[in-house]
Amino acid sequence: MSENDQLLRLWANEEVMKFREMVQQDPYRLHYHLMPPVGLLNDPNGLIQFRGVYHVFYQWNPFETAHGAKFWGHYTSKDLIHWREEPIALAPSEWYDRNGCYSGSAVEWEGKLHLFYTGNVKQPDGTRETYQCLAVSEDGVHFEKIGPILYLPEGYTAHFRDPKVWRQGDGWFMILGAQTLKEQGAAVLFYSKDLYEWEEVGRIAGSGLNGLGDFGYMWECPDLIRLNGKDILLVSPQGLDVAGHEYHNLFQSGYFSGAFDAQKLTFDHGPFTELDRGFDFYAPQTFVDESGRTILFGWMGITDEAEQHHPTISNHWVHALTMPRELRYVNGQIYQSPLQEMKMLRKGKVETRLSIDGAEELYPQIAGKSIELLIELVETRGGVFEINFRNSAKLIYDEARDEVSLIRENVKTGKLETRTSKVSSLSAIHVFLDHSSMEIFLDGGKEVFTARYFPNVEDESIVFAGHAVLDVKKWDLQGFE
Ligand code: FRU
């Protein structure tokens, strides 16, 4: 390990020691989501189950609650519920990654854990350089940097990053997010026999390919996966215009389904579908665990104007990951559902039938900051009903329009903002609240709304209004510390 590397680790650890307590006592701290010990977290990275242990790495700036030269922070778990903070995996210490060890992925090969990441470099004159780098570990905790294994090919700007690597046949593929010289977003494929020497295959998706028109100026964090016989490209495009209920966040995350031909090296795909309908969801990544499940973590945040207004910043931290979700592909669409393991967090159950008729009603037994609610719609009679979470965010179901909306206050402007999704004949709403986050799964995960919110700390109320008969189950959820 270089001297620079040791110094950066030392300073980062000092920063953690200085502010850990302050973060711990923040009333908006999350209790069953992965968040940074201090500082800013963004994308999940390097997700893998290695020798039975789950590893989650994440983009981390330990020094500020702002973006900067990112480290890879590291958590491990045996059950996806109880997590352990590991030593820093990667620090931005070398000439090829000194302005950030940016996002990437992990594979196991010959008993070793291999991390692929983007070395981000900014020259004093503002020009950017990008290197795809490799780091290897025997024990899954201490990593040796090998250095760049891939340089920027012709035809792209230096916005070229986020390698996702997987094994197929007797070789390896790597897919990267890119911007062409015409400033169009793309996903670019590479091939290797040995993980060290990579040859360019070319663009397999992007603006102007596969019947896709102009589709953003940059694509980040691509992930090509297989679900139920389909090949699916998850990707986070930047620069899409609002269209109806779609694309209201600054940047998007979604997927194209189709067929990847590993011989012809083509990917035929259909239209783009957003993965999440809420306000705070970006740069998701997946991995397949030893039981064969495809599990996704997303960043429960986004680089928008509001992020610097989160009240957690005064306590030296910002952002978190989503809870892990299992992906399935049913009737041409991805479903996301909470993992079975989440049930381990449940304590005390309340079960009741609510008949809501007009005015706002508070059911004192259905309240809390860290709870799971499973709401089955028994009768709605074509009307509207709403659930007000802690007087700070509202979910509204309008049966006649077949729409669900989430409304909250924008932390920057203080104005109400709305996200809406079509849902035909909604039958169930599954809600996970964790102090300052909400994840709402509709009809078994057909649509999901993910959002941060910052209610009055004392307020634990859940208020129902409108017209409906609902069967509600509620569990308190304990933290995983
Ligand atoms: C996505 C992203 C990635 C990049 C990383 C830097 O949020 O911009 O493209 O690798 O974050 O932290």
Please tell me the total count of domains within the chain. 2
State pLDDT tens for residues 187-198.
999 999 999 999
Do 284 and 214 sit in the same domain of this protein?
A: yes
- Would you say residue 360 has pLDDT above 80? no
What is the structure's pLDDT at 472? 96
Higher confidence at residue 357 or residue 253?
A: 253
CA–CA distances in Å: residue 195 to residues 110, 138, 149, 150, 418: 11, 16, 8, 10, 45
For 266-279, b/e burial (b = at least 16 CB within 10 A) is bbebeebebbbbbb
State pLDDT tens for residues 306-328.
999 999 999 999 999 999 999 99
Say yes or no: CB of residue 42 within 6 Å of ligand 1: yes
Q: Which of 338, 355, 376 corresponds to the end of one domain?
A: 338
What is the structure's pLDDT at 363? 83
Do 88 and 45 sit in the same domain of this protein?
A: yes
Do 333 and 346 sit in the same domain of this protein?
A: no
The CATH number of residue 45's host domain is: 2.115.10.20
CA torsion through residues 46, 295, 219, 440, sign: negative
How high is the mean pLDDT of the chain? 97
Q: pTM for the whole thing?
A: 0.98
Do 293 and 432 sit in the same domain of this protein?
A: no
Report the amino acid identity of residue 203: R
pLDDT band at 455 (very low <50, low <70, confident <90, very high): very high
State pLDDT tens for residues 421-437.
999 889 999 999 999 99
Do 378 and 316 sit in the same domain of this protein?
A: no
For the CA of 221, the nearest atom of ligand 1: 9
Do 282 and 366 sit in the same domain of this protein?
A: no
Do 73 and 121 sit in the same domain of this protein?
A: yes
Cα distance between residue 366 and residue 461, in whole Å: 8
Domain that holds residue 420: 340-477
Say yes or no: CB of residue 102 within 6 Å of ligand 1: yes
User: Using an 8 Å Cβ cutoff, are 222 and 164 in contact?
Assistant: yes
State pLDDT tens for residues 45-102.
999 999 999 999 999 999 999 999 999 999 999 999 999 999 999 999 999 999 999 9
- The residue written with tokens 């389909």 in the block is 230
pLDDT band at 359 (very low <50, low <70, confident <90, very high): confident
**43 given a catalytic annotation:** yes
Cα distance between residue 320 and residue 329, in whole Å: 26
pLDDT band at 361 (very low <50, low <70, confident <90, very high): confident
Cα distance between residue 411 and residue 455, in whole Å: 11
Do 302 and 153 sit in the same domain of this protein?
A: yes
Cα distance between residue 405 and residue 477, in whole Å: 25
What is the structure's pLDDT at 382? 85
Phi, psi angles (nearest 5°) of residue 342: -60, -25
Do 160 and 225 sit in the same domain of this protein?
A: yes
Which tokens is 74 given? 């590291």
For the CA of 251, the nearest atom of ligand 1: 7
pLDDT band at 398 (very low <50, low <70, confident <90, very high): very high
Which tokens is 401 given? 């329009």
CA torsion through residues 438, 442, 444, 445, sign: negative
pLDDT band at 362 (very low <50, low <70, confident <90, very high): confident
Residues 6+ apart with CB under 8 A from 123: 129
pLDDT band at 481 (very low <50, low <70, confident <90, very high): low
Candidate of 116, 160, 220, 303 to mutate for ligand 1, largest count of ligand atoms within 8 Å of Cβ: 220
What is the structure's pLDDT at 352? 94
End-to-end Cα spacing for the chain: 31
Task: Determine which residue's CA is closest to atom 9 belonging to ligand 1.
Answer: 220
Say yes or no: CB of residue 118 within 6 Å of ligand 1: yes
Looking at the chain, the whole-number percentage of residues with pLDDT higher than 70 is 100
Say yes or no: CB of residue 307 within 6 Å of ligand 1: no
What is the structure's pLDDT at 19? 98
Higher confidence at residue 46 or residue 479?
A: 46
162 Cα to the center of ligand 1, angstroms: 7
For residue 383, give the nearest of 355, 368, 402 by alpha carbon. 402
For residue 236, give the nearest of 193, 286, 194 by alpha carbon. 286
Do 350 and 327 sit in the same domain of this protein?
A: no
Do 419 and 319 sit in the same domain of this protein?
A: no
What is the structure's pLDDT at 364? 83
Cα dihedral value 47, 49, 50, 55, nearest 10: 50
DSSP 37: S
- Cα angle: 478, vertex 480, 481; to 5 degrees: 115
What is the structure's pLDDT at 127? 96
The CATH number of residue 433's host domain is: 2.60.120.560
Say yes or no: CB of residue 220 within 6 Å of ligand 1: yes
Say yes or no: CB of residue 103 within 6 Å of ligand 1: yes
Over residues 438-461, mean pLDDT: 97
Among residues 26, 43, 97, 223, the one annotated as catalytic is: 43
What is the structure's pLDDT at 200? 97
The gap from C-alpha 168 to its chain's centroid, in whole angstroms, comes to 25
Report the amino acid identity of residue 240: L
State pLDDT tens for residues 1-38.
899 999 999 999 999 999 999 999 999 999 999 999 99
43 Cα to the center of ligand 1, angstroms: 7
Over residues 214-226, mean pLDDT: 98
Which tokens is 114 given? 């291999």
Q: Which of 288, 313, 338 corresponds to the end of one domain?
A: 338
Do 251 and 394 sit in the same domain of this protein?
A: no
Which tokens is 48 given? 């893998």
Q: Which of 338, 363, 392 corresponds to the end of one domain?
A: 338
Phi, psi angles (nearest 5°) of residue 211: 75, 5
pLDDT band at 148 (very low <50, low <70, confident <90, very high): very high
